[in-house]
Structure 1
Amino acid sequence: MEKVQTEYLSYKKAMKILGLTSYKALQYYIKAGLPVIEVANSKRIKKSDLDAFMTSHYVNSKEA
């Protein structure tokens, strides 16, 4: 059976991609502007939005 990949991630999958172990840490990212899609009681994070969010928060180590 072929595994279907979706661009819409559950919080759990988004946390795994980000390397987060705490739901509270994910909430910090969301408060910092990570977009969330909410339909009824389902909340998802679009993979491309996650990538764009991380890219927009890139800090050059020489400047930090």
Structure 2
Amino acid sequence: MEHDERPTTSQADSAPLLGGNPGTPGLREPFAPQAGPRNPWPTIIGMITTLSVIVIVLFMVL
């Protein structure tokens, strides 16, 4: 009987952890509109930075 009681306590301990997980998608929701197509500048800046790094590396190698 003692062995049956221990798994029930471990399930009770895991229940608050499962209840805390749905809070993480709430934190991810505000970041979704920022990454949307409304701001094309981060993509443009990233492309320019990548191209400039490639050009610099090519000149360093050559």
Structure-1-length-normalised TM-score: 0.23
Q: Which structure is richer in relative contact order (CA contacts within 8 A, separation 6 or more)?
A: 1
Q: Greater helix share, 1 or 2? A: 2
Q: Which protein has the bigger strand share?
A: 1
TM-score (norm 2): 0.23
